Amino acid sequence: MTGLKPLLRHNPPTIGDSRGARAYIGSVMADFLDLGEPSQPARPEAYRVLARKYRPQTFAQLIGQDAMVRTLGNAIKRDRIAHAFLMTGVRGVGKTSTARLIAKALNCIGPDGQGGPTIGPCGVCEPCRAIAEGRHIDVIEMDAASHNGIDDVREITEASRYAAVSARYKIYIVDEVHMMSKAAFNALLKTLEEPPAHVKFLLATTEVNKVPITVLSRCQRFDLRRIPADLLAQHFAEVCDKEGVEAEPAALALVARAAEGSARDGLSILDQAIAHAGLEGGGITAVAVRAMLGLSDRGAVRQILTAVLASDAPVALDGLRRQYDGGTDPQSVMRALLEAVHGITLAKVGTAPDPAQSEEERAAREDWAARLSFPVLHRLWQLLLKGHDEVARAVLPIEAAEMALLRAIHASTLPDPGELARRIQAGGPIPGAAAPAPATAPAPQAEPVAEDPTPATFPGMVDALDNAGHLALAARLRHGARLVRYTPPELVLSGSRPIAADTLTELTVAMKGLTGRVWKVTLSDEPGDPTIRQAEDTVAEATRQAILASPLVRAAQEAFPDAELEDWPGKRSIA
């Protein structure tokens, strides 16, 4: 208690105030024996979503925007820095991140504090760290969605007259600038055109068409591109590696396609996929991602499309129902079918394949492209596109999707408008048209028996198709069809040589138009006869050898050793 005596003498309690004395002594003891606050358990660091955690901190980490980075780098090196920049592009491609990187590049002073503007900011100096953390006093970020009035712009114009406090440039980052009012835009024009030397404006927007042309003309514009799916998949693989998460390449490709060129959207989906994978350690699988996003199975889509092209309605509808029962939206299935037809058409044109596609998907599209004609693909695209729109508006989406598939199956067996016009001119039967009602006559009269127009042989049928205007179909049959059996109205061809499903359908319709009979065209595993062209080549070669073996020709060759047989019957078929 000796240590308390000075304190008691300094401010003793009044005499007789025992309660006050006890309180006073208690407070003194508390001060004297103060050991500080009890230790608290360390709070875990708050989780940051991947889109924020892996926000680009340097231009090298900004994926898919090489052209813009090169332009900015050259401008900084040559000291040709514009006073206002406008970044435009779809969501999540890095517009705001690019604005912050430009702010760091212009205000970086280097680790030694002596650096100047650079395309590679150090990230360790005070301006770089303060800008990255969003606390730099001279880098002002403003969301035009909530600060879109003329008063907000007046604050900017008033503050821009004062020099920067600690940075090289005072920078205003205005996000979603297209949401500013007309009066606010007009108030900003003069300052935006001739700002003080120490001020830079960085504008970002997703809807550049809503920004007045007077503002666009005062800015250096950068159109940020959608990030390719292969680059996104590679970026997501690096993120998974840093997070210690295993992921199938096919799963990352699905995430990249679902992101539609947006890094932020893709990272958000990847965050969800990691959470969806759980703690079992199995990693992210393509099946899980497809189920999580409600995407249709690519293999199932190929099966449905195959059934549609083969006019197999039960298989097509069963595949659609299985996708629907598995939780896939019918509109998603229609969209996947549209993507497949579009990819097949691009493959037929000869464009480079999508690097994010699987080998199986690529091989299937190339096979379809080799077998399907452009008219069939264009017709199928229009039918599926109409079906997609109907499903989007339908009260019964799955029923609307089924009807759309049935319409596509039915239309695949119909001839094109040009063929219909030729049939109308020739007076032939029109598929789908009702037969005319017989005229009422006073008394029935016997009709003469019409001659059967069915050719007796398969080559005769091919010639009849050629004469009727089916030139392409006749050429395909003449060069590629191997006959197994021709017994009208049945035709069996060999399946050892691939024949496209649309060729069989077109042949069935064409022969019905020629003969008026319903034909059954099937494929068999038997090898079949040689093609018509091969048979013609064999006959032509035999004729050539017979001519060369004749005494007259042999004598002419002996007299003229350099003479050659220039023409003979059937030469055109093997020339």
Domains defined for the chain, CATH in brackets: 50-223 (3.40.50.300), 229-293 (1.10.8.60), 298-411 (1.20.272.10), 458-529 (no CATH), 533-573 (no CATH)
Query: pLDDT tens digits, residue range 501-552?
Result: 777 888 888 888 888 888 888 888 888 888 888 888 888 787 778 777 777 7
pLDDT number for residue 417: 57
Question: Which residues in the chain show pLDDT less than 50?
Answer: 1-11, 13-16, 28, 30, 32-33, 432, 434-437, 439-443, 446, 449, 573-575
pLDDT number for residue 468: 84
Residue 164, C-beta contacts closer than 8 angstroms, at least 6 positions apart: 138, 170, 198
pLDDT number for residue 201: 93
Say how far apart CA 340 and CA 334 lie, in whole Å: 10
> Tokens in use for 13?
């309690």
pLDDT number for residue 7: 41
Determine the angle formed by the axes of helices 286-293 and 249-259, rounding to 10 degrees. Answer: 30
pLDDT number for residue 524: 81
> Tokens in use for 480?
């590629």
Determine the angle formed by the axes of helices 532-549 and 458-467, rounding to 10 degrees. Answer: 110
Are 50 and 268 spatial neighbours (Cβ–Cβ below 8 Å)? yes
pLDDT number for residue 91: 86
Are 535 and 479 spatial neighbours (Cβ–Cβ below 8 Å)? no
| pTM beyond 0.85 | no
